[in-house]
Structure 1
Amino acid sequence: MQASVVVVGSLNMDLVTRTERLPRPGETIFGQSLDTVPGGKGANQAVAAARLGVQVAMVGCLGSDAYGTQLREGMLAEHIDCRALRTVPEGVSGVALIVVDANSQNTIVVVPGTNACLVPQDIQAFDEVLQAARVIICQLEVPMDTVGYTLRRGRELDKTVILNPAPASGPLPAQWYAAIDYVIPNESEAWALSGVAVNSLETAEDAARRLIELGARKVIVTLGAQGALLVSPQRVVHFAAPRVEAVDATAAGDTFVGAFSAALAAGKDEDDAVRFAQIAAALSVTREGAQPSIPRLNDVQGFVIP
């Protein structure tokens, strides 16, 4: 069966340690545990979409190391189409170093590894995968030229194109916006893209409107416990977040993006897709780890909003 969601992006092995608090600059502290967990923004979003009821294909690069083997096996175990996952000979797979404190806040350092090897030719080689999709997702953990090509190709194919601009360190290339249907940043990413400091619903709307002025069709700013804000030229809608007890927020944003994409691919309208994605993201923060925290369809369908 052809995939209805295609994710072009990163795959990392996450090395996760838990601490009482995050270290200050120059400080050494003791960790309480260390876990090795499959992750990477692209892979997380692919797993989220796959667990939430749609066929998914992953396009990316892995190393020929043990982590690369484990990451591929993990994707296959989720029934994700991996034919467009290229193994780089003698390459070292991407790694993320994650510290999570007692309040479920985290810091992350990503070492790209073979994620930096994903080039536009890799996307071109599997163009039929994009052609069969309804939704195409990109992030910013692979080379910008590759992201730009994928966005343009998605628009040429008249697909629903989603960009999760993470990690973001500054404005996007101006020409990208015409190719994107939904830009989905969190607070800090919206700030980096727009230049508007986001610390409230009002400033989130200001940042989103700035992105629309730059050419974005629609913007969804994810605001953690404050919910999500959907902004388009026609309307602004705030979606309150479900109340849950947070344990680890590592993959919440990726779960939201994957779930939103899965819902759109399954035919939900955008408001219902946002609500569906919020429940999935809320459930993910109640569990530890990146991919292990991502819920399945029956979990989301069975969730009762308090």
Structure 2
Amino acid sequence: MMKQLFVLGSMNIDLIYKMKRLAKVGESMFADDFLTLPGGKGANQAIAASKQGIQTWMLGSLGQDEFGFSVSESLKKFSVKTHYIDKVSDFPTGTACILMEEFDNRILVYPGANHVQDFNKIQKCIIDNGHINDVLLMQLEIPMKTIKDALELAKAHKMITVVNAAPFDSQIKPLLNMVDILIVNETEAEALLDRKIIFDQIKEYLEEILDLGPSEVIMTLGKQGSYYINKDTMIFTKSYEVPVIDTTGAGDAYIGCFVANRMLGYKLEESLDKASICGALTCKKLGVHKAIPDKKEIEEFKRRMI
């Protein structure tokens, strides 16, 4: 039986404002465009994995509102299983206000329902549907207590655990011995190590993160590519240049694609390269869910690059 992926994490509606520059303090100005699109790190990563052909379950909480319905429908559209998502009445669906200034963005998140997790429902989904060597993927936009309980549950059922430590929370550090693959960007790595990353010493930093407990570590560095390390090897993966429309969700696309391709049995180098392509191609379109490329689009891009 093919491995399954269980993604436990945030689901949001992104409120996107496009502008040539940010307003100054006390200034009012018109945005050039406004969109509402489904997002959230958990939902983004689940869709990225599903588009690679992995059976993917989404776990987490949505509000009983129109935003929650929109996120749920988007997940279903891209074949993510939504049966165990909790619909809460006391909190609205999480939102992210994304201010797009030229090719950069700033994001303000209101967690809403993401901070109300029904662990009994999460447990039931994994017990009823999970198998040995299935994968649990999480981020840090949900309560740390839920993350801790889910890691313990996954380890008890001999699942593989992947954590994207974003946004960084120092409470993840004592839990890293239960993490098989830890994924961080430069900012999160600096917070984890409590100092600035110096690029010509990258191997030392990666080894230091590895010593904190995870079996494998990936550090993504945007245009500078990404690094992978385990106890035996270190791999650098280049980034790809594309015409950029929106960088939102590129990191999530990378993560979902990497995890899916590892689960599908591709070699490390190929899984990392496909992830890098996936992250780049996501930047070519506005929004995230529709922008994330599928398996065919990534293969076509690889052929054009040969």
Calculate the TM-score normalised by the size of structure 1: 0.92
Determine the C-alpha separation between the residues in 2 that align with 1:23 and 1:236.
Answer: 43
What does the per-residue CA deviation read over 1:2-46, in whole Å, with 9 as the maximum and x for residues that have no partner? 871110011000001111134456654432111000000000001
Structure 1 residue 55: Cα displacement = 1.2
How far apart are residue 129 of structure 1 and its match?
3.1
- Name the structure 1 match of 2:193: 194
Structure 1 runs, 4 residues or longer, greater than 6 Å off = none
In the TM superposition, what is the alpha-carbon distance from 1:79 to its structure 2 partner?
Answer: 1.5
CA distance in 2, matches of 1:89, 1:133: 35
Query: Which of residues 220, 223, 243 in structure 2 aligns to 1:222?
Result: 220
2:277 match: 279
Unaligned runs of 5+ in 1: none
Preserved CA contact (<8 Å) 2:74 2:289: no
| 1:220 alignment partner AA | I
Given the superposition, is the C-alpha separation of residues 171 and 144 from structure 1 closer, same or farther in structure 2, using an over 3 Å criterion? Answer: closer
* CA deviation vs aligned residue, 1:74-122 (integer Å, no higher than 9, x gap): 11111111111011124311000001111x2111111011111114323
Whether the aligned pair in 2 keeps the contact of 1:119 and 1:145 (CA below 8 Å) is no
Q: Which residue of 2 aligns with 1:250?
A: 248
Return the offset for 1:286: 1.3
Q: Which amino acid aligns with 1:158?
A: K
Cα distance in 2 for residues equivalent to 1:100 and 1:143: 28
Q: Is contact 2:3–2:263 with CA below 8 Å preserved after alignment?
A: no
Q: Distance in 1 between matches of 2:165 and 2:27?
A: 30
Instruction: Name the counterpart of 2:203.
Output: 205
1:284-295 alignment, distance < 5 Å = 284-295=282-293
Out of 266-275 and 53-62, give the one that drifted further.
266-275
The share of aligned pairs that are identical, in percent, is: 30
More divergent stretch after superposition (78-87 vs 230-239): 230-239
Q: Following the alignment from structure 2 to structure 1, what is the Cα–Cα distance between the partners of residues 59 and 120?
A: 12
Q: Return the offset for 1:204.
A: 4.1
- Counterpart amino acid of 2:39? G
For 2:80, the aligned partner's letter is I
**In 2 relative to 1, CA 133–216 (structure 1 residues): closer, same or farther, beyond 3 Å?**
closer
User: Which one is further off, 15-24 or 268-277?
Assistant: 15-24
Q: Does residue 1:120 correspond to 2:114, yes or no?
A: no
Question: 2:266: which partner in 1?
Answer: 268
Shift in CA distance, 234/177, structure 1 to aligned 2, threshold 3 Å: same
| Kept after mapping to 1: 8 A contact 2:91/2:113 | yes
Is the contact between residue 226 and residue 238 of structure 2 (CA under 8 Å) also seen in structure 1? yes
Matches within 5 A, 1:1-306: 4-23=4-23, 28-102=28-102, 104-127=103-126, 128-131=128-131, 134-170=134-170, 172-174=172-174, 176-198=175-197, 200-303=198-301, 304-305=304-305
Label 1:149 to 1:245 Cα distance change in 2 as closer, same or farther (>3 A).
same
Long gaps (5+) in structure 2: none
Cα distance in 1, alignment partners of residues 171 and 233 from structure 2: 24
AA of the residue aligned to 2:89: P
Which moves more between the two structures, 157-166 or 132-141? Answer: 132-141
2:183 maps to a residue whose letter is: I
Change beyond 3 A, Cα 1:274–1:25:
farther
CA–CA distance in structure 1, aligned partners of residues 146 and 290 of structure 2: 28
Q: CA deviation at 1:261?
A: 1.1
Once the two structures are overlaid, the 10-residue window that deviates more, 268-277 or 4-13, is: 268-277
CA contact (8 A) 1:65 1:91 kept: no
